[in-house]
Amino acid sequence: MLVRTRLLTKLAPVLALAQPASAADFCVATGSGLQSALTVAQNNGEGDHIRLRAGTYTRIAPGTAFTYASSEDFNLSLTGGWNAGCTDTSFDPPTILDGGDARRVMEIASLGAGTAAAIGVFQLQFSNGLAATDGGGLRIVGAAGNSMEVTLVHNTFVGNVAGTSGGGLSASGNGRLQVVNNLFVANEAQVSFGAAALNSNGDSAFVSHNTIIGNVAPSTGGVRFGGSSLLHLANNILWANGDIDLLVLAGSSHFRYHNNIGAVTAPAPGILVGEITTAPEFEPGLFNFVPRPRGALFNAGIAAPPGGMVGSDLAGRPRVSAGLPDIGAYEAEVLFYDGFQP
């Protein structure tokens, strides 16, 4: 069933991108249109919201990523899944940004020292990126001395390759970081951190309801977290990512709530509750990461993860279907649940 809902209602629990009164809106449908909007947005003296219609976007320029590089102190949000008039959004069909196995998919850079821009990326798929350095799918970087905030919700990172680290995602900033309801699968880094390399020096970092599975690298196929932020990990699946699924660097403090994690290398967490270590059970089908009803992931999440919970899963279904949220980016499809059935 096609799930259709107003964007602001869907993302309200986690939207940290309060745009100023003066903000520019773009509705784009092609790769050239997207890059044109990014180019205007980086220097137009106001906050920007770029709406991407459903479809597949590629860059014509060989070896060049979709690029935004701004020294301004204004917010940027990109959202996918919009209809032809950019009046409504849905999860199906998707909005796919494709690197064609020839380029990094997208790079976003906040270059102004002393600025506090908020960057938000919602409901996009980053596929087939190839970067010589970090961030094969998406690279987000803030300049030293600024407090850029980063929010990533309802995105998919699949089949990206980085020459160094962060096969799917490389994100580094000095403000709050939120990575919520995303899927990372089949990404590769040729040195380390196959799924994602995250670095945050804000007050807190919230990583919740993500499914991170089947990513590879010679060292740590999963996720690396570093920085001075207090990291809150809740309701995530990190599984089958080579040698290490989660690496938290020494000196980084973290709390873990109701995750399913395979191999961990990390300092002792300040809080550790509800964690399981079991091979996740999903519904049948290729690249189907919906938890099997009444399996170990079902109803096993924490009800109120730190940083808040989005009202829908990565497919647009209600996040809670049977009393408590499931672990991972998707919620099990349950027509009836009485709480007592095995």
Spatial CA neighbour of 139 closest among 212, 66, 218 = 66
Burial of 274 (0-12, 13-18, 19+ CB in 10 A): middle
Decide if 170 contacts 139 (C-beta within 8 A): yes
Confidence of residue 107 (pLDDT cuts 50, 70, 90): very high
Confidence at residue 332, expressed as pLDDT on a 0 to 100 scale: 94
Residue 260 domain-assigned (yes or no) = yes
Confidence of residue 248 (pLDDT cuts 50, 70, 90): very high
Confidence at residue 10, expressed as pLDDT on a 0 to 100 scale: 42
Spatial CA neighbour of 229 closest among 205, 248, 247, 249 = 205
Domain of 109, in residue numbers = 20-273
Mean pLDDT of the 92-97 span? 97
Residue 285 domain-assigned (yes or no) = no
Quick: pLDDT tens for 113-163.
Answer: 888 899 999 999 999 999 999 999 999 999 888 899 999 999 999 999 999
3-state SS, residue 322 = strand
3-state SS, residue 321 = coil
Tell me the C-alpha distance between 71 and 209, whole Å. Answer: 32
Tell me the C-alpha distance between 39 and 36, whole Å. Answer: 5
Decide if 39 contacts 65 (C-beta within 8 A): no
DSSP-assigned states of every residue in 228-287: SSEEEEES-EEES-TT-SEEE-TT--EEEES-EESSEE-SPPSEEES-B-----B-SSTT
Tell me the C-alpha distance between 220 and 241, whole Å. Answer: 7
Tell me the C-alpha distance between 50 and 63, whole Å. Answer: 23
Q: Nearest 5°: phi and psi at 307?
A: 90, -10
What is the length of the chain?
Answer: 342
Whether 21 shows a pLDDT value over 60: the answer reads no
Confidence at residue 63, expressed as pLDDT on a 0 to 100 scale: 81
Confidence at residue 337, expressed as pLDDT on a 0 to 100 scale: 52
Spatial CA neighbour of 181 closest among 10, 8, 27, 329 = 329
- Reduced 3-state DSSP string for 295-308: CCCCCCCCCCCCCC
Confidence at residue 294, expressed as pLDDT on a 0 to 100 scale: 87
What secondary structure letter does DSSP report for 44? S
Cis upstream peptide for 94 (omega within 30°): no
Number of domains in the chain: 1
Direct distance between the N- and C-terminal alpha carbons of the chain, in angstroms, rounded to an integer? 27
Residue 56 domain-assigned (yes or no) = yes
Residue 77 domain-assigned (yes or no) = yes
Mean pLDDT of the 244-261 span? 97
Residue 304 domain-assigned (yes or no) = no
Tell me the C-alpha distance between 79 and 151, whole Å. Answer: 12
Q: C-alpha distances in angstroms, 66 versus 33, 70, 100, 282?
A: 11, 14, 12, 34
